[in-house]
Structure 1
Amino acid sequence: MDQNNGRRVVLFPLPIQGCINPMFQMAKILHSKGFSITVIHTRFNAPKASSHPLFTFLEIQDGLSETDIRTDDNTWLFTLLNRRCEASFRECLTKLLGSSDSETGEKKQMISCLIHDSGWTFTGSVAESLKLPRLVLNVYTVSYFRSHFALPKLRREVNLLSQDSDQDDVVQEFPPLRKKDLVRLLKEKREYLEPYLNMILESTKSSSGIIFVMSCEELDQDSLPKAREEFKVPIFAIGPSHSKFPASSSSLFTQDETCIPWLDKQEDRSVIYVSFGSLASMTGPELIEIACGLRNSGQPFLLVVRVGSVKGTEWIEAIPEELMAKVNEKGKIVKWAPQQEVLKHRAIGGFLTHNGMNSVVESICEGVPMICLPCFWDQFLYARLVSDVWRVGLHLEHRIERNEIESAIRRLLFGSEGEAIRERMTLLKDKVERSVEENGSAYRSLESLIDHISSF
């Protein structure tokens, strides 16, 4: 760690796992560069302060009820959070800026800036009123973030798209999404989508800069110049930092550490790891199809089934006893796994994933080819990047069927097709690794970000 530079940065993550991990990786990077860190967070999905003893944590009221947090509509949940957190956030930040050290009475360290998740839209007016520079941390790829503002317009046309016979055609306004992906992406009722996206766009354009923690020139080469032209604020594509700053300490779930000893007993590149992230859900019949496909492949597998993720059941009760006995012969089912440790294990041969960007980037960083089964939102685009653009995985084309899953596993692990995928993945992994090394594109972008923050 660099010597403390006398400056403090305030971070404000959106309270979902896929946004908390990148924010804490950002915090660890800044702390390693000499900045002190204060994290303002909601009571809902509060991070574990004990896992980060070098950071200061301040909790604010979020006003969410039990009914609110059970909603399946994330756009509505984020809209509620923005409505109900503004007053408590303003009070907290105002007090922080004006506070003195309780022991010495001296002024605390200079606060350089606020870094908040792009999903917080009220922060612009608060920071401006307090004359505090503000950076937006973005957990999407540059390509998705640029294109997703077209979703309200595309949503109005989705009925026409669903009747289109050319469902495999690429959506011109949103490549490399295909029309059938867009229909699925927009099928959920999201009446708050357009106003929420408009607020995100306005908040981002009025910021002092955008940090893309999941992107680097090697992954977003075509989109970065266009984004700089469109947003007209400094953009920092600092790339994945997973190898240097693991996300496990910021997990909201208890990780089953028995995964690693189990993997130690398996052969190299033989295990299929299966996880659908912190938000996705499935039906009982879908879980059975996945379990059967894994079992029928004949390969050992590690299956993560989050508590409450199977509709109508608490955990894996939907799997019949006879099938469970067969599953246990080759597989292991856990409620949550230390994903980065799992993916870097020598036994992992493939990753059946929902294609959340954290998972995609972690898989690339460890050189693990993927089988794509996206569930919602940005995952549809990342699945196409994996299967159609980078060509480092196979796409199930939204078919949760045992025969399709078994076939995809065999294609990925055996034969010339799987070998070609692994070769391309190795090349992509190497490119991304070079980007974060000294003089790489992400390394240079991070150095520019540190200079930018230090200039405030």
Structure 2
Amino acid sequence: MMEQRKGRRLILFPLPLQGHINPMLDLANILHYKGFSITLIHTNFNSPNPSNYPHFTFHSLQDGISATEASTNDVVSLLSLLNIKCAEPFKDCVRSLVSDDVSQEPVSCLISDAIFHFTQAVAESLKLPRIVLRTGGASSFVVFAAFPLLREKGYLPIQETRLEDPVVELPPLKVKDLPVINTLNPDTFHQLVENVVSATKASSGLIWNTFEDLEQSSLASLSQQFSIPMFPIGPFHKHNLAIPSRSSSLLAEDQTSIPWLNTKPPKSVVYVSFGSIAAISEREFLEIAWGLAKSEQPFLWVVRPGLVHGAEWLEPLPSGFLESLSGRGHIVKWAPQQEVLAHEAVGAFWSHNGWNSTLESVCEGVPMICSPCFSDQKVNARFVSQVWKVGLQLESGKLERGEIEKIIRKLMTREKDGDEIRVRVSELQDKADNCLKQGGTSYESLESLVSHIFSLETFNFSHSQESVKTVV
């Protein structure tokens, strides 16, 4: 049963990318279930559908992001632009919310995505506590926090001749695993990371969509570096809430995936999806297609429009390719991923290793084939294959049909490696389930988060008139 309203309002501000919106909305549902009223500020760019969340209040920002700017392939430029263009409208929106005398529910705090680093200065100017949501894993954040050291030691910027060198300060990472993003402005990227880390250290707390048993050593390392309370309360999507689950997908989900899976034997299907941003060449696309075909395993493949450079959708596939599979392959533009991974027919997930996908796979006990593209995906993939040992990594440069066929067979057939991986991921699945039960680590951490929010000084407009006036 949902807890009674606590008479406190929280302002949440998600970054408008699919992998960031989903966990923020999950967190909003969790905190609403714990009795808080939720106000969600969002950009016009990639805005969520308010009708899916009638229990929240929504406020839209005029972010000023043009269609051209929004469609850029340079993620770093987009993130930097969002931090600049959202600053003024966000400040005005929060100022009006906290000074709303009509509301009977004082604003307890702001919870913003870590990448919106400018929100720390806004919160401080309004004397409003800011808690950060980091939507990625703790393991990758350890690396981001170490960027100054990595530059000092010469690991960054990455040199092609050093890709296979170990990063001795951060085992088991190699130089090629460092979470960089290809951009025209590498200095801008390093500045963005530095701003995110410093604004997080200045915040009133840090929420993680992870759990202790998965990332204990990384969480311990960050607790030593950051003198703020941390709350690993994940996996968010597995919290048992008395709220009907609604999709927050920005893309239309193809519902034919589940009926197709219903026709396949247990643990037989390879599910393939590289997320909402990654793009591949036509050559890579064809090698994936032929590798899947040659593996002779059934496969459900998400080919997002725009996934293949220079193609709308499936045009590069050879004529008659799908027909030749005799129903063994099913290709969709987007799939209801959590439902797919929970389906008994799915035996492996070939993933780009975004954090949400990695966590969802662990939670359903599905072994992974790792093909990271950029940023934290590289760290996640190395941890999946070398630390948790619940998947196999398809190393960059090996996206070739023979290698693909070999790694699928290794994971899906009764080889020793595949069997051991299945045992380990099943054990992690049990730990993910248990941490959310009463007395579990994430359950207790959520209780601590609720207490922490109440311990923060409630915003009192009458005592903060001057600070509101002085926001620049």
Q: Is the 1:248–1:340 contact (alpha carbons within 8 Å) kept by the matching residues of 2?
A: no
Amino acid at match of 1:180: K
Which one has more relative contact order, counting CA pairs under 8 Å at least 6 apart? 2
Q: How does 1:338-417 map to 2 (within 5 A)?
A: 338-398=336-396, 399-414=398-413, 415-417=415-417
- What is aligned with 2:26? 25
Pick the aligned partner of 1:293 from 269, 291, 294. Answer: 291
Q: How does 1:168-207 map to 2 (within 5 A)?
A: 168-182=164-178, 185=180, 188-189=183-184, 190-207=186-203
Cα 1:328/1:138, change in 2 over 3 Å:
farther
Q: How does 1:204-223 map to 2 (within 5 A)?
A: 204-213=200-209, 215-223=210-218
- What is aligned with 1:104? none
| TM-superposition CA deviations, 1:299-339 (whole Å, max 9, x none) | 11100011112111111111121323324631110000000
* Secondary structure class of the residue paired with 2:253: coil
RMSD: 1.8
Cα 1:158/1:223, change in 2 over 3 Å:
closer
- The answer to which of 357-366 and 432-441 deviates more is 432-441
Amino acid at match of 1:435: C
Q: How does 1:15-414 map to 2 (within 5 A)?
A: 15-101=16-102, 107-151=103-147, 154=150, 157-158=155-156, 161-164=159-162, 167-182=163-178, 185=180, 188-189=183-184, 190-213=186-209, 215-244=210-239, 249-327=247-325, 329-398=327-396, 399-414=398-413
Q: Using the TM superposition, give the Cα deviation of residue 141 of structure 1 relative to its aligned residue in structure 2, in angstroms.
A: 1.7
Amino acid at match of 2:128: L
Q: Using the TM superposition, give the Cα deviation of residue 198 of structure 1 relative to its aligned residue in structure 2, in angstroms.
A: 1.8
Q: Using the TM superposition, give the Cα deviation of residue 98 of structure 1 relative to its aligned residue in structure 2, in angstroms.
A: 1.8
Q: Is the 2:155–2:175 contact (alpha carbons within 8 Å) kept by the matching residues of 1?
A: no
- Residue correspondences, number: 447
Amino acid at match of 2:43: T
* TM-score (ref. length: structure 2): 0.91
* Secondary structure class of the residue paired with 1:192: helix
Q: Using the TM superposition, give the Cα deviation of residue 28 of structure 1 relative to its aligned residue in structure 2, in angstroms.
A: 0.6
Amino acid at match of 1:228: S
Cα 1:56/1:421, change in 2 over 3 Å:
same
* Secondary structure class of the residue paired with 1:194: helix
Unaligned segments of structure 2, at least 5 residues: 457-472
Task: Name the CA distance, whole Å, in 2 between partners of 1:69 and 1:186.
Answer: 17
Cα 1:72/1:151, change in 2 over 3 Å:
farther
| TM-superposition CA deviations, 1:99-151 (whole Å, max 9, x none) | 244xxxxx331111100000001111111121111100001222211221333
Cα 1:191/1:73, change in 2 over 3 Å:
farther
| TM-superposition CA deviations, 1:163-220 (whole Å, max 9, x none) | 24xx5443123333212334x846544231122122112211111101112x221111
Task: Name the CA distance, whole Å, in 1 between partners of 2:85 and 2:158.
Answer: 37
* Secondary structure class of the residue paired with 1:436: coil
Q: Is the 1:211–1:235 contact (alpha carbons within 8 Å) kept by the matching residues of 2?
A: yes
Task: Name the CA distance, whole Å, in 1 between partners of 2:197 and 2:245.
Answer: 28
Q: Is the 2:231–2:445 contact (alpha carbons within 8 Å) kept by the matching residues of 1?
A: yes
Q: Using the TM superposition, give the Cα deviation of residue 247 of structure 1 relative to its aligned residue in structure 2, in angstroms.
A: 7.2
Q: Is the 1:4–1:34 contact (alpha carbons within 8 Å) kept by the matching residues of 2?
A: yes
Q: Is the 1:349–1:413 contact (alpha carbons within 8 Å) kept by the matching residues of 2?
A: yes
Q: Is the 1:62–1:84 contact (alpha carbons within 8 Å) kept by the matching residues of 2?
A: yes
* Secondary structure class of the residue paired with 1:15: coil
* Secondary structure class of the residue paired with 2:141: helix
Cα 1:117/1:390, change in 2 over 3 Å:
same
* Secondary structure class of the residue paired with 1:250: coil
Q: Is the 1:291–1:327 contact (alpha carbons within 8 Å) kept by the matching residues of 2?
A: no
Amino acid at match of 2:346: I
| TM-superposition CA deviations, 1:32-75 (whole Å, max 9, x none) | 10111110000000001111111111000111112211222212
Q: Is the 2:52–2:246 contact (alpha carbons within 8 Å) kept by the matching residues of 1?
A: no
- The answer to which of 424-433 and 295-304 deviates more is 424-433
* Secondary structure class of the residue paired with 2:133: strand
* Secondary structure class of the residue paired with 1:251: coil
* Secondary structure class of the residue paired with 1:221: helix
Task: Name the CA distance, whole Å, in 1 between partners of 2:360 and 2:321.
Answer: 31
* Secondary structure class of the residue paired with 1:261: helix
| TM-superposition CA deviations, 1:264-302 (whole Å, max 9, x none) | 111111000000001101111111111111111111110
* Secondary structure class of the residue paired with 1:115: strand
Task: Name the CA distance, whole Å, in 2 between partners of 1:377 and 1:159.
Answer: 14
Task: Name the CA distance, whole Å, in 2 between partners of 1:375 and 1:247.
Answer: 30
Amino acid at match of 1:330: R
Q: Is the 1:134–1:209 contact (alpha carbons within 8 Å) kept by the matching residues of 2?
A: yes
Amino acid at match of 1:373: S
Q: Is the 1:136–1:204 contact (alpha carbons within 8 Å) kept by the matching residues of 2?
A: yes
Task: Name the CA distance, whole Å, in 1 between partners of 2:81 and 2:325.
Answer: 41
Task: Name the CA distance, whole Å, in 1 between partners of 2:253 and 2:12.
Answer: 25
Q: Using the TM superposition, give the Cα deviation of residue 236 of structure 1 relative to its aligned residue in structure 2, in angstroms.
A: 0.8
Task: Name the CA distance, whole Å, in 2 between partners of 1:147 and 1:247.
Answer: 33
Q: What percent of counterpart residues are identical? A: 48
Unaligned segments of structure 1, at least 5 residues: 102-106
| TM-superposition CA deviations, 1:340-387 (whole Å, max 9, x none) | 000000000000000001000000000000001001100001001111
